[in-house]
Amino acid sequence: MSESLNLWTLVMNASWLAKLVMFSLFAISVMSWVIIVQKWIILSDASKEMFNFEKRFWSGMDLSQLYRDGSSKQKTTAAIGMENLFRSGFKEFTRLRQQPGIDSDAVMEGAQRAMRVALAREERVLEKHLPILSTVASVSVYLGLFGTVWGIMNTFVSLSSQSQASIAVVAPGIADALLATEMGLFAAIPAAIAYNRYASKVDSIINSYLTFTDEFSSILHRQAHTRRVQE
């Protein structure tokens, strides 16, 4: 046993399989943290956008004006979230309305379809990578345990060649083995927390989108039918 037991030397003394497990766990941890931070940025941006857009939308502003504002903004950043839903629906609506002799129900149907497609895209963006987090949360614990069991097994195997088993012989091997579980837990706990948090957040955002889609279609519906009545 060395004078000072550095964790790094502990890792380096481990068997190749334990090393493999530890390094893969480390990589998994890095990856899951990338996803955690990235999802956090994406989701907080989406909810902020949603909040801002709803405020503008219900401010009584003219819809075509709102659309044009969005168009000018789109030159710098692509529209995301609720604004994207609005734009695709409104674009389809105005396009179809300009077609001569088209049924207002058909116009409504087209606008709703366009919004449904946009909603599916938004959903995909929001939910992207979330399954990875849940996989990390459940699997890295097992991976860590696997490394630990392997390490402890090795320790006992090497112990069998010793005539007298002292704690000093067993301790480094077991500490080594436990390091794998520790790393597994380190990767799993944030991933599990983030997954639960983000899943509920994505759910609530998509619910808001659906509500907005319904509200916006009713507005469009009203416009389409009042126009036909005028005609």
Rounded least distance, CB 23 to another protein, Å: 12
Of 22, 25, 36, 50, the one binding another protein (CB under 8 A) is 36
Rounded Cα–Cα distance for residues 16 and 164 (Å): 26
What is the pattern of x (binds another protein, CB under 8 A) and - over residues 51-80?
A: -x--------------------x--xx---
Of 13, 15, 17, 42, the one binding another protein (CB under 8 A) is 42
Of 17, 24, 33, 154, the one binding another protein (CB under 8 A) is 33
Piece in contact with another protein (CB under 8 A), picked from 3-11, 84-92, 131-139, 204-212: 3-11
Of 20, 23, 45, 228, the one binding another protein (CB under 8 A) is 45
Question: Tokens 């959903």 map to which residue?
Answer: 123
Piece in contact with another protein (CB under 8 A), picked from 48-56, 105-113, 116-124, 135-143: 48-56
Burial class, 154, CB count within 10 angstroms (exposed 0-12 / middle 13-18 / buried 19+): middle
Of 20, 23, 37, 214, the one binding another protein (CB under 8 A) is 37
| CB < 8 Å & 24+ apart, contacts of 199-206 | 199/130, 201/43, 201/47, 202/43, 202/126, 202/127, 202/130, 205/43, 205/46, 205/47, 205/50, 205/81, 205/126, 206/119, 206/122, 206/123, 206/126
Rounded least distance, CB 125 to another protein, Å: 8
Q: Which two tokens stand for residue 148?
A: 């630990």
